[in-house]
Amino acid sequence: MPNSTYRDIANYYCVDDLPGATVPSARLQNILDCLWCGKPLTRLSLAFLQQQGLESLSQLATGALPYDRFREAAIAERAIRVAAANAARLAKEAEKRARDAAMQEKMKLADARAKAVRLARESDPKYIAKMKNRDLREKFDIDTFVEQHCFGPLMRILKIVDAGQRLGQDDFVWLSTVGEEYFSDTLRAAYHQLEAEFFASEYGKTRDPWMAVNASGHYRKCGQAGDADALLSTINVENQKSPKLRSAICTTRGGVMRDLNQWEEGLRLGEKAHFFRPDDYRPCTLLGAIHMETGNFKLGSEWYGKAVERGATTDSVDQDLRNIFFRADQVKQDQMREFLLNEDPIRYSWATQKGSHQLSACLPLGTRQSA
């Protein structure tokens, strides 16, 4: 058999089912190579054939069997080996399937137990209440730690607001003092939205202009100046007899115009309100704010001074100035800083902060303390 391959030789000796017969330099392959080349086998090689159950090949090597009788016996041995290997493979596959099935069953039981535990937990009233409380805090953007003594009052307030009900005065005072840390912008907007809707509804029933003024103030504080304008536009100021009411309507609507950046109309309404009530600080505050926001700092400062003379507190004026300053763009902020520091570098030292205009977008219109 010239140019024979390892597999040809393995087939010739009927051991092609054994891996070692075709692997170069493997012990069985070396033995086959010796037999193929007519070389005698060592005692150790013959012992190896006996250990491997290759009885007929061992007898062929020692000359005890001629090739034709060897081949007949070797084919029978190979059939037995192949059958045994197939049986072992099938047994191994069956064992693996059994292990896999057992593992699947174990996982299924574990999932069932986990599901039962989860369902039991989720049906627990305490767990349900805990999740509802968490969802409420997330809804109103309260992501800070809630102190234990504040938790009960806060959650009761959140439930009231979430149900679309107005807060009582005591609850609002609590939020504005003890619970101020939890009075988020979202919660504040929801509060003012409910108040605005209540007063707007009252105005619809009674046509009392004061109800419209109150509703508009709350609409402004929840970022709905357009709704406030629509409501106030239904009132004819000239038909009102009370100078106080006339002034309040003009001041409130002037504040709405300020929110809508309609500066000229805001100034006109502020001056009109001041005409109706020259002793009221609120129109002065409105005019001061608009002049400051439009860059007329000296005039704005004068109007704020008049507001203080008429009863506005210096703190409220300074808070209004800070809000205007922090909401301004960089150019307007630099100009306002220069003016304020020239006026009073100690009082307005907070204006030395750099880059504060970047924080201004975080301040909603509702944070303004005055008109």
* pLDDT given at position 113: 86
Domains in the chain (CATH in brackets) are: 6-101 (no CATH), 243-371 (1.25.40.10)
pTM value is 0.65
CA within 13 Å, CB half, 224 = 20
- Given a contact cutoff of 8 angstroms between Cβ atoms, the answer to whether 329 and 335 are in contact is no
What gap in Å lies between CA 65 and CA 68, rounded to an integer?
A: 8
* pLDDT given at position 369: 35
* pLDDT given at position 125: 84
What gap in Å lies between CA 55 and CA 330, rounded to an integer?
A: 99
Residuewise pLDDT in 10s, the chain (371 residues): 455 799 999 999 999 999 999 999 899 999 999 999 999 999 999 999 999 999 999 999 999 999 999 999 999 999 999 999 999 999 999 999 999 999 999 999 888 888 888 777 767 788 888 899 999 999 999 999 999 999 999 999 999 999 999 999 999 999 999 999 999 999 999 999 999 999 999 999 999 999 999 999 999 999 999 999 999 999 999 999 999 999 999 999 999 999 999 999 999 999 999 999 999 999 999 999 999 999 999 999 999 999 999 999 999 999 999 999 999 999 999 999 999 999 999 999 999 976 444 443 333 333 333 35
* pLDDT given at position 269: 97
Q: According to the 3-state scheme, what is the secondary structure of 176-242?
A: HCCCHHHCCHHHHHHHHHHHHHHHHHHHHHHCCHHHHHHHHHHHHHCCCHHHHHHHHCCCCHHHCCC
